[in-house]
Amino acid sequence: MLFVTVLLSVGCNDDKQVNKGCDETDLLNSFTTSAGLDIYIYQNGDLYINDDTGCNYELQYFDPSFVDKYEKAASGQVYFKEGDVMVPVVQQINEGFDGYLEFTDLIIASVDELASKVWTNFTLLSPETPSVSEYVTLFSCILDGECDFLDNRIDLISHENNAAVKFQTVSPGADMVTSKSSVSTTLTYFELGDDLWFQCKYYIESGIPYSLVDFESVYFEESPGPRVVISGGQIALENKFGSKILYRNETDIKVPEKKWFTVKLHLVLSDTDNGIIEVWQDENLVISETGINLPTSNAILNSLEVGITASDVATVLLIDDLHLSDQPMD
């Protein structure tokens, strides 16, 4: 089974300098959180918080050696190094979910399937599996055919004569932030200056998910990146990092229920104010902004997660006809 797992060591480190005084030397990025904390991130991945006590080391936001996991060939093709295997990264996905017998058939089970499949894992964060270790164990158990879904689930179905993927979540537990039922790939590769195009059809059967698709940098603490969300009943784009900028829909177009609708996204990736953010709902351009949409200049968006990627209520969502590209879509 090819299952790309990334473990990040985070937390306070006694060897780091405390009260060092935040400065510009080797500074990668800085921002102020909604709580008023001044955050400084340095080239070596160290994250410091500047407050009343000084500038104190908090955690390692990323391990700078993550770039060594990738290699670019003379042809320009980038490869992810999985042990002795060189796995080509992707910037093109065209998935109609046809030709599979069941949902688990989507997931890459061996290197031989890299040419025909793209999905590497799925997530079921729920009251029955509230921790990473628990839903990773369930993932493996389901793929091995030794158990079934518990509360949240994912199914391959036929809907209006088309294959589609059905995601279901129950409400999160009292001590949980969110509930998830999603499928993802860690084979994507988009970096500073790249064009990222995404398109997918959605059908909300019940409930309202918060997040529909996340583009993440999984080698960074909390897997930051931009994501398409539903805010106030409308499509919006949220930066799941930094000061958490929310690019809002300025139209009066709402997200429909029990009706297929298409979300189309175009980003030109930047960690400064010159990034491009364009989002369409069906044929309507609902967001057209310039601004930050990449956590840091060295971040690589190497994960695409789609489905119910976050919800605080019981939800049923269908998706179909998913496309990802570095080129414009019709």
- CATH number, domain containing residue 82: 2.60.120.200
Instruction: Give CA–CA dist 101/109, Å, rounded.
Output: 15
Per-residue pLDDT band at 34 (split at 50, 70, 90) = confident
Instruction: Give CA–CA dist 44/298, Å, rounded.
Output: 11
Average pLDDT over residues 131-153: 95
Matching residue, tokens 């995404």: 198
pLDDT tens digits, one per residue of 51-66: 888 899 999 999 999 9
pLDDT tens digits, one per residue of 91-140: 999 999 999 999 999 999 988 899 899 999 999 999 999 999 999 999 99
Per-residue pLDDT band at 2 (split at 50, 70, 90) = very low
Contact 291, 237 (CB under 8 A): no
Of the listed ranges 10-14, 267-271, 309-313, the one predicted with least confidence: 10-14
Residue 9 has pLDDT above 50, yes or no: no
One-letter amino acid identity for 133?
A: S
Residue 12 has pLDDT above 70, yes or no: no
Question: Residue 22: its pLDDT value, please?
Answer: 87
Instruction: Flag whether 263 is in a domain.
Output: yes
Question: Residue 20: its pLDDT value, please?
Answer: 56
- What counts of helices (H) and strands (E) characterise the chain? 1, 22
Instruction: Give CA–CA dist 164/167, Å, rounded.
Output: 10
Residues facing 166 on adjacent strands = 155, 318
Query: 158-193 burial by CB neighbour count: b if 16+ within 10 A, else e?
Result: eeeeeebbbbbbbbbeeeeebbbbbbbbbbbbbbbe
pLDDT tens digits, one per residue of 238-253: 999 999 999 999 899 9
How far is residue 47 from each of residues 52, 193, 296, measured CA to CA in Å? Answer: 17, 24, 12
Percent of the chain topping pLDDT 70: 94
Beta sheet of 85-88, edge-to-edge order:
70-72, 78-82, 85-88
More confident residue, 148 or 5: 148
Instruction: Flag whether 8 is in a domain.
Output: no
Instruction: Flag whether 60 is in a domain.
Output: no
Per-residue pLDDT band at 15 (split at 50, 70, 90) = low
More confident residue, 253 or 50: 253
Contact 293, 239 (CB under 8 A): yes
Instruction: Flag whether 37 is in a domain.
Output: no
Instruction: Flag whether 244 is in a domain.
Output: yes
Supply the range of the domain harboring residue 175: 72-325
Residue 8 has pLDDT above 50, yes or no: no
- The pair of three-digit structure tokens given for residue 96, joined into one six-digit string: 């109609």
Per-residue pLDDT band at 78 (split at 50, 70, 90) = very high
Instruction: Give CA–CA dist 112/150, Å, rounded.
Output: 30
Per-residue pLDDT band at 17 (split at 50, 70, 90) = low
- The pair of three-digit structure tokens given for residue 260, joined into one six-digit string: 């297929």
Residue 273 has pLDDT above 90, yes or no: yes
How far the first Cα of the chain sits from its last, in Å, is 35
Instruction: Flag whether 62 is in a domain.
Output: no
Q: What does the DSSP 8-state code read for residue 171?
A: P
Instruction: Flag whether 17 is in a domain.
Output: no
Query: 304-325 burial by CB neighbour count: b if 16+ within 10 A, else e?
Result: bbbbbbbbbeebbbbbbbbbbb
What's the number of domains the chain is made of?
1
Q: What does the DSSP 8-state code read for residue 175?
A: T
The structure's pTM equals 0.92
CB atoms within 10 A of CB 72: 11
Residue 10 has pLDDT above 70, yes or no: no
Instruction: Flag whether 28 is in a domain.
Output: no
- The pairing of strands 121-125 and 93-95 is unpaired
